[in-house]
Copies of this chain bind each other. A is one copy, B any other.
Amino acid sequence: MRAMVITRFGGPDVFERQEMDRPVPGPGEVLVRVVASGTNPVDAKIRQAGTWAQIPLPAVLGYDVSGVVEAVGPGVSGFRSGDEVFYTPEIFGNRLGSYAEYTVASAAIVARKPKSLSHEEAAGIPLAGGTAWEAIVRRLAVRPGETVLIHGGAGGVGSFAIQFAKAAGARVIATASAGNHQVLRDLGADVALDYRDGDVADRILTEAGGPGVDAAFDTAGGNVGLSTVVTRPFGRIATILPPTGDLSALYTKNQTLHGTFLTREGARLREMAPLFERGQARVIVDEVLPLEDVGKAHERLDSGHGRGKVILKVGD
């Protein structure tokens, strides 16, 4: 089978097309034929420097699969050949990332693809959508009537976070560069602000009214200190990056900070799926490229200015 492999860490040119053996599903595992693969900023971080993921080389990266179950290993009862599924693969041992024609995965982290979505759309969901769901719905537990601030609302995680917070009945204030404010509004944000404005804290407080927003979600990094200032006493903050800056207000205002990081879980994908099936959330696909053009996709990730998902078409 085809796979785009890296044998060293470096720039977007490190990917090499290789023929590999198709993996074999073990007990509790499913073998999935990948139709489409998502790409995420974390892929680029790993490609550049390895990072915390401690992935041994050579490696097949890619954290978003949408595809079709080809075979199941012993003891798998929830899936069978032909099922359309989506998930975030683990990458270790014989488990490959989504930049390949086939991957195996524990059945526990796999879920059925929302029927109303194409594979190209579904491949944009698992990692970014799962992270946003974890933060907005499970950890921040956003409720109707609340006001929520989302830093980096035009990014992969942020764009889902806006939609999930709206679906939860909240008013959403989102930040992005001015060129992406229409994207924020299209996603449902009630207020779009430029994070580079010197008075962004004052503007958030004015928009929130009263003592500040009920909850804030930092998807861009470096905004937890600002969030403590603009979030009300006993409010909640979540971050998907290291919390930095002056966090004194976190304790004087009795706030709660939730660290949020990649976890894999079929249940969470099943929780999210109805929103996509009912049209309460959608995937913004910016571009679909063939698997072999993964280097081009990574050039986009490196630029940091994507407005939607760059999807790799892997199979049919």
| Interface members, chain A 125-154 (any B CB < 8 Å) | 134, 139
Once the chains bind, are A242 and B248 in contact (CB under 8 Å)?
A: yes
Which listed residue, B52, B250, B263, touches A257 by the CB 8 Å rule? B250
Contact B261 A253 (CB under 8 A): yes
Q: Is A240 an interface residue (CB 8 A)?
A: yes
Q: Is B259 a contact of A254 with CB atoms below 8 Å?
A: yes
Shortest CB–CB separation between residue A248 and chain B, in angstroms?
4
Could you say which of B244, B256, B263 contacts A139, with CB atoms under 8 Å apart?
A: B256
* Copies of the polypeptide in the assembly: 2
Mark out the residues of chain A between 246 and 264 whose CB falls within 8 Å of any chain B CB in the assembled complex.
246-261, 263
Which residues of B are found within 8 Å of A261, using beta-carbon distances?
Answer: 251-254
In Å, the complex CA distance between A263 and B254 comes to: 9
Size band of the A side of the interface? 20 to 34
- CB atoms of A259 and B255 under 8 A apart: yes
Interchain CB contact (< 8 A) of A256 among B240, B246, B256 = B256
A248 — which chain B residues lie within 8 A by C-beta? 242
A239 to chain B, nearest CB (A): 6
Tell me if A308 is interfacial: C-beta within 8 Å of chain B: no
Residue among B243, B251, B255 making CB contact with A250, cutoff 8 Å: B243
CB distance from A137 to the nearest CB of B (A): 14
List of B residues within 8 angstroms of A259 by Cβ: 247, 249-257
Smallest Cβ-Cβ distance to A247: which chain B residue: B243
A251 touches B260 (CB 8 A): yes
Cα distance A241–B134 in the bound complex, in angstroms: 27
